[in-house]
Chain A
């Protein structure tokens, strides 16, 4: 069935520390993954994506790691800031040409001052 799950529903980190948000996916045929950030009262905002032919991709302060062997995805945020407080979702897109995003439940990240 369709499922993208997360290991932890909440995560609190100190401002300036690094944070790691994890995600497990079930469809071994998935070939495209995206991390979204959702602030309260807003729609999801694209953070970073990764194709299945890669195992790491870096952006500005964010890194996504993909481990296809154990079907695991992670989002690393470096030097967290108060503005990073939000709910983070991983999502997968099934198959080339498919346009259906399957979202995980989400992890609420709280940055403590």
Chain B
């Protein structure tokens, strides 16, 4: 059973370009979370999605950032018109359906975005 998969693992963009980060959750998992990590800091929650629904986007910047988790295919975190401050590691996590109150979130290896 493959774990959470993210691609690309490394992404370099110039200022003003778009960045698309992909996340395939673990098999059987229908909940996806995106986190951002700056160097030497903890992860910061960005958004929580279920299939075709955004449940909590309280950590998403108001502009340039969007996320989706379509019925088919991976979850996508999209950053438009990137700036140098967007350089960070972006982690995706997934969990199974919320049958119980707390579900362990399994993390992917991350995408390291560098904006030149």
Contact = CB atoms under 8 A, between A and B. Distances in A.
A71 to B, nearest CB: 17
B48 A100 contact: yes
B102 A93 contact: yes
Contacts, number: 63
Interface string B92-110: 0101001001111111111
A72 to B, nearest CB: 17
A8 interface: no
A101 interface: yes
B83 to A, nearest CB: 23
Interface residues of A, number: 25
B85 interface: no
A100 B110 CA distance: 18
A100 B104 contact: no
Interface stretch (A43-51, A56-64, A75-83): A43-51
A100 B45 contact: yes
A101 B45 contact: yes
Given A43-B107, A89-B43, A93-B102, A99 B91 contact: no
Interface in B22-48: 31, 33, 35, 40-45, 48
Nearest to A44: B107
B56 interface: yes
Closest 9 CB pairs of A and B: A103-B42, A43-B107, A103-B43, A96-B101, A44-B107, A100-B45, A105-B42, A43-B109, A99-B48
Interface of B: 4, 31, 33, 35, 40-45, 48, 55-56, 58-59, 91, 93, 95, 98, 101-110
Given A43-B107, A99-B98, 8 more contacts: A41-B109, A44-B91, A89-B43, A91-B42, A99-B105, A101-B43, A102-B45, A103-B35
